[in-house]
Structure 1
Amino acid sequence: MANVAFIGLGVMGYPMAGHLKTRGGHDVTVYNRTAEKAEAWVKQYGGERAATPAAAAAGCDFVFCCVGNDDDLRSITLGPDGAFKGMKEGAIFIDNTTASAHVARELYDAAKAQGFTFLDAPVSGGQAGAENGQLTVMVGGDADAFETARPVIDAYAKMVGLMGETGAGQLTKMVNQICIAGLVQGLSEAIHFAGKADLDVEKVIGVISKGAAQSWQMENRWKSMADGTFDFGFAVDWMRKDLSICLDEARANGARLPVTAVVDQFYAEVQAMGGKRWDTSSLIARLEKGEK
């Protein structure tokens, strides 16, 4: 059992912090910008809530966070009441935010200068994965810190891998999002085509999902896509944020991402249709706009 803090109780962080308490058996202190969310978490799980990130981090062996973007991450770490002001020597800060590799390296350097360390550890699996404790965690940072933190991270994960030095976790998450963007667009076009061809979509998916076309997206999203329902956890706004990070990194490293860039613009069309909070499978909506 360890003293643990969790900063950021959104749709991902709330259940992740819960697993650290219930599965991991750790003493957990939480902080959330909206205090009511932290109060609700404590009422549900026990533990403590803190008034600032610094207070949450004070005395903890491990401090986790899951916030929105680079600016949010800097605010809760380096801000006037940021967690880095409360970190004890030898502690480990584990960042589950999907952010840039640049900010991961910046915060690693700041942490090491203060006598503790930092792991970039973005996750994949969406809201369902967080709620079920079945996330994939891609980690960048020092190997010894990873080995120390891994048993704690296991509380909310089905797969935890050290991908390389600082920033490698975020870079791996970019690869993940690039794959998903192309897969969802392909699946959208396939379901749209099947409908236009007067095929029974359920029968088609039942067959092709057992062959080379199979994917998690196909298995878990085909029916809701065919029905035009998009009320799952990972919103289009978030995906556009993630793809922006991918495209920025590609411009810096020289990678060419033509499909990713096009799909990003397709998501912009979905946003313009009012789908900012629809889940990412809503790409099919732009193909069938006006038909239902």
Structure 2
Amino acid sequence: MTLSGVYVPLVTPFDAAGGIALDAVERLAHEVLDDGAAGIVALGTTGEPASLTADERRGVLDVVGGVCRERSAPLVVGASTQDALDALAGTGATAALAVVPPFVRPGEDGVVAHFAHLTGPVPLVVYHIPYRTGQALSAGALRRIAALPHVIGVKHAVGGIDADTVDLLADPPADFAVLGGDDLFISPLLALGAQGAILASAHFATKSFVELVDAWRTDPVRARELGGRLAALSNAVFTAPNPTVVKALLHAQGRIPTPDVRLPLLAADPALVAEAVRISQGW
């Protein structure tokens, strides 16, 4: 399985009673696929999975899995433990998004050993986000992880373009997808050779994010212009903890029933939402 293109990590919309608006989940999934997204990520960070009950997570997965089966689209599901990975059997998931072990900082050898041991019914996309996990990984460590037979890619979100990012993409591992995970820096990462992205910002202007991926292969002048404009949109929706502004903007557009998030998240400042609404109107 080869991953490329834009994957949208869906929010989990809540209704006025505080439950999950599964009809809105289904509608969002169809909308982003209609606009050219290559696939969907369910129960990623943007979906607030830690705030959901087990039944709620299954409900989301059932709905998104149904859409992806209907549309023949890949479904990546957040699953970072052995139990969560094993539970994906029979769900229609095509890959799991598994975060580098957070907080404990096991060192590069420990991370490689962890992913060598973490196997299940679907292949893994490793989520490398050191400013959240506390664990840096060199290009060499990422190549060791890429050599594991059940690992097919990385969501690469290191907070910018560092030397290890340049090193990795200058000589990328074979049959291993580097997918950008920092929305603001996706254009330069694509310019270096990343195959695609997992972007919460792509709930909006989905067609343009898809075009950006393609343009870096065929029309760099267009890609630079488009990338700069999309960076402004991404910056606007990440001015408060994700997905607070994303959900507020989706609600303002009439695409989900409420802008609500669950604790420990709080609603985004209305001024930040207003700015995101203003910028989004250019798309």
* TM-score interval (norm. to shorter): 0.3 to 0.5
Greater share of helix residues, 1 or 2? 1
What's the TM-score, normalizing by structure 2?
0.37
What's the TM-score, normalizing by structure 1?
0.36
Higher radius of gyration, 1 or 2 = 1
